[in-house]
Amino acid sequence: MDLAANIAKVQSSLESASEGRYPVPKLICVTKTHPAQDILPLLPLGMTEIGENRVQEIREKAPILNPEKTDPRFRIHLIGRLQTNKVKYIMHDVCLIQSLDRMELALEINRQAEKAEKVMPCLVQVSPAGEPQKGGIAPEALPAFLREVAQLPGISVRGLMAVMPDLGPCPALEQLFQNMRVLFEHVRDEAIPGIQMEELSMGMSGDYLYAARHGATMVRVGSAIFGPRA
Ligand SMILES: *Cc1c(COP(=O)(O)O)cnc(C)c1O
């Protein structure tokens, strides 16, 4: 597995796909299922923002990835569905929760943040194709949800995240990326007090080109860098 070559390839594809129309999105390397020892080689490559989707895995790997709690080497993003009873385990290991998708979860993150005397940065997960079973707030419910979360002092909303349906490359999929960008700009222009709309996290190994073309600020890429997961 040539990590350096794979990363260079993804980076250059992102650069050409964003076409100078949008800034090149930041590459978040999705390291789920890979042991900490296999993740450490990302450090000298400058890939320090990583995505993990399971709390248990984060708890196991964080002490190896970030031995100095006060000076972490990696910034870990939580990108998977988060159970409310597990929020308390990740408050100190995660720099961004990308999967805030319901009020019950927001209330628990807020509660744990206040306990830890910190503010947790979050992205609100939106269901791009109206598939709420896949997680995410329906687009039409988003403004009201954001206004409610804005009242919680322990949460700082930084933007939106979407997991696209697995359609394979096709115009319908590209349209969903475009719709997400439109939605992002729409809520950004609403300028809801207490809400920052800076990040739009969308795009994975199979579709990061569409994401870059339609104004993602972050893409979450795993298998195109690490190879297929077992
Ligand atoms: C696994 C995962 C990714 C990365 O998927 P790849 O297809 O391996 O790039 C991105 N986002 C989420 C939410 C994931 O669970």
pLDDT of residue 230: 72
**Overall fold of domain 3-226:** TIM Barrel (3.20.20)
Give the pair of three-digit tokens for residue 137.
């707030």
pLDDT of residue 187: 97
Query: Using the 8-state DSSP alphabet, how is residue 23 labeled?
Result: P
Distance (Å) from CA 13 to ligand 1 centroid: 18
Inter-residue contact 153 to 107 (CB < 8 Å)? no
Inter-residue contact 116 to 91 (CB < 8 Å)? yes
pLDDT of residue 132: 63
Question: In one letter, which amino acid is 130?
Answer: G
Buried/exposed code over 42-69 (b: 16+ C-beta within 10 A; e: otherwise): beeeebebbbbbbbebbeebbeebbeee
Distance (Å) from CA 206 to ligand 1 centroid: 9
Cα separation values, 22 from 17, 26, 100, 139, 216, Å: 9, 12, 25, 23, 8
Inter-residue contact 59 to 36 (CB < 8 Å)? no
In the chain, what are the domain boundaries? 3-226
pLDDT of residue 7: 98
- Ligand 1 atom closest to 206 (CA): 7
Task: With 0.95 as the threshold, say if the pTM is over it.
Answer: yes
Mean pLDDT per 10-residue segment, the chain (230 residues)? 94 93 97 97 97 98 94 97 97 97 98 97 93 82 97 98 93 96 97 97 97 98 91
State the Rg of the chain over Cα.
17
Question: In angstroms, rounded to a whole number, what is the distance separating the alpha carbons of residues 57 and 86?
Answer: 12
Question: In angstroms, rounded to a whole number, what is the distance separating the alpha carbons of residues 164 and 166?
Answer: 6
Question: In angstroms, rounded to a whole number, what is the distance separating the alpha carbons of residues 163 and 167?
Answer: 12
As for ligand 1, residues whose beta carbon falls within 6 Å of it are 30, 32, 53, 79-80, 163, 204-206, 220-224
Q: What angle do CA 41, 58, 6 make, to 5 degrees?
A: 30
Per-residue pLDDT of 168-213, as tens digits, reads 999 999 999 999 999 999 999 999 999 999 999 999 999 999 999 9
